[in-house]
Chains A and B, each alone.
Chain A
């Protein structure tokens, strides 16, 4: 009974978050390099705001959304009961400890992610590892995207560019400005045979960056 109520509250909160995202940002998905089909994928996105995750989550079609789990920082999402509720129950996030010294005995982020993939889920990953507060368009990627891609080579790695959210909610601000955001899904990548970590991460970063470049319209 209690679990059912919790499930209901989580669904209602999820709906509320998606509606809020749409009211404020009128968010639109652009499937530029792939289709919204139920293939197993790791969506990797640029990260400028706490609202990035709800935004990607909002534009995924319901059938895909239910099978897609964000990878998020436990040291952020477990700091208050409300965040924990949203992180665990609403977003169904794979919560990882970013700092090795905070990890419990035997806790391994890579194993957490591969376990989720083996259970059939797709993942949303922010390979920069933290919010980008700089003027650069991307921070250097952490190794996680490469490691999980190597461990499960059959999973598509899809770059996802989130446009405009840093103007909607600059760092430190609480009230969002209503501006239109676009979430662009690029063509899937795979790690090449013998491709080393730095080469692949550079390739992934440039594929992501290219989605953010404005395209000259011919009309």
Chain B
């Protein structure tokens, strides 16, 4: 067994053990407190853990399938996230073709660029080319109503749901000396640290959360949850330094950077939800809401993580 497969299998086994423990704890709480399923908080916790089993299985399969699996998985996540985001954006009937181009041309092409490893284009394709060309395409429909709002919201949706999300599979294209063929472990590390930060913020917040950080933007975020969650997730990221190309010290700094980005990403997406009067982005991930609800922190962390790693560790 090659070393990176062995490390991957160890990570997967650790994840399975962790989820099994979470399931046992949640079911025990339910049996003690409300075995009839009458406590909404506990039912939501169980739904969340059940969804985690499915998400972990999808990620694990994609990792084992390698590059094609990871790119396909995140292209699908981008599609689902973009569908949730575009549902809420300002649009007129005349935007029909711009929306179709976003979903069926821009999105697949971005992931194709990552597949062929064309860094020079995938890193500027949406922020430069689409940024300029899509509004030009929209003018062809000759509809000026809310024009700036329409093109801005469409561009923002593409940046978040396609461009930033695609930086996760793009980690596979980094050329790190001594780290060949271990790209999926970099993704695994990022996803584990950022998602565990969300989970630990939730746990710390539920246990000792008192002081709200931004009651208007995100009523569930507390200072206790933020500090406890980011710190404990950062320590977890440090402890997992052996699957990364980083030394323990740098693993600590990287983990701190991605957990902070993840936290603020959640805050930004939460502010958008509040403004549009919704609680969740969607309904497809039981207990969590939509794809964006689960991806927001990863999406904000991935590009920064990619460029820090690229700057410091690639040739």
Chain A: residues with CB nearer than 8 A to chain B?
A: 26, 28, 164, 167, 170, 173, 175, 177-180, 214, 216-217, 219
Q: Find out whether the CB atom of B282 lies under 8 angstroms from the CB atom of A216.
A: no
Residue-by-residue, is B99-139 near A (CB-CB < 8 Å gives 1, otherwise 0)? 11001000000000000000000000000000000000000
Interchain CB contact under 8 A, A164 and B277: no
B4 lies within 8 A of chain A by Cβ: no
Q: How far is the CB of A205 from chain B (nearest CB, A)?
A: 24
Q: Which residues in chain B, 271-297, are within 8 Å of chain A measured between CB atoms? A: 277-279, 282-284
Select one of A28, A177, A216 contacting B283, CB under 8 A. Answer: A28
A28→B219 CA distance, assembly (Å): 26
- On whether the beta carbons of B219 and A179 are closer than 8 Å, the reply is no
In the complex, the answer to whether B277 meets A214 with C-beta atoms within 8 Å is yes
Known: A28-B283, A217-B277, A219-B279. A180 touches B87 (CB 8 A): yes
When C-beta atoms are compared, the residue in chain B nearest to A175 turns out to be B100
Asked whether B100 lies within 8 Å of A177 as measured between CB atoms, the reply is yes
Rounded to whole angstroms, the CA-CA distance of A167 and B103 in the bound complex is 14
Contact B99 A177 (CB under 8 A): yes
A219 to B282, CA, bound (A): 15
> Nearest B residue to A176 by beta-carbon distance?
B100
Interface of B toward A, CB cutoff 8 Å: 79-80, 82-84, 86-87, 91, 93, 96, 99-100, 103, 219, 277-279, 282-284
Say yes or no: A180-B91 contact (C-beta < 8 A), given A26-B83, A173-B96, A175-B100. no
A178-B283 contact in complex given A173-B96, A219-B219, C-beta closer than 8 Å? no
- In the complex, residue of chain A having the shortest beta-carbon distance to the beta carbon of B276: A214
B82: which A residues are within 8 A, CB to CB? Answer: 178
Which B residues lie within 8 Å of A173 (CB)? 96
A217 touches B86 (CB 8 A): no
Among A177, A180, A217, A219, contact of B103 (Cβ-Cβ < 8 Å)? A177
How far, in whole Å, are A175 and B84 apart by their CA atoms in the complex? 18
In the complex, the answer to whether B83 meets A180 with C-beta atoms within 8 Å is yes
Would you call B284 and A26 a contact (CB within 8 A)? yes
Q: Which of B91, B277, B278 has a CB less than 8 Å from the CB of A167?
A: B91
Q: Which A residues lie within 8 Å of B100 (CB)?
A: 175, 177
Complex Cα gap A219–B280 (Å): 10
Q: Please list 13 pairs of residues, one from A and one from B, whose beta carbons are closer than 8 Å in the complex, sorted by A's number.
A: A26-B282, A28-B283, A164-B87, A167-B91, A167-B93, A170-B93, A173-B96, A177-B100, A178-B82, A178-B83, A179-B86, A179-B99, A219-B219
A24 to chain B, nearest CB (A): 9
Q: A179: which B residues are within 8 A, CB to CB?
A: 83, 86-87, 99
A219 to B277, CA, bound (A): 9
> With a CB–CB cut-off of 8 A, which chain B residues contact A216?
277
Nearest-CB distance from B71 to chain A (Å)?
A: 19
For residue B219, which residues in chain A have a CB less than 8 angstroms away from its CB?
A: 219
Question: Nearest residue in A to B86 (C-beta to C-beta)?
Answer: A179
Nearest CB of B to A28, in Å: 5
Measured in the bound complex, the distance between the Cα atoms of B219 and A191 in whole Å is: 44
A70 to chain B, nearest CB (A): 25
- Cβ distance B147 to chain A, nearest Cβ, rounded Å: 17
Q: Which residue of B lies closest to A28 (CB)?
A: B283
Q: A26-B284, A170-B93 are in contact. Are A177 and B277 (CB under 8 A)?
A: no
CB neighbours of B91 from chain A (8 A)? 167
Bound-state CA distance A217–B279 (Å) is 7
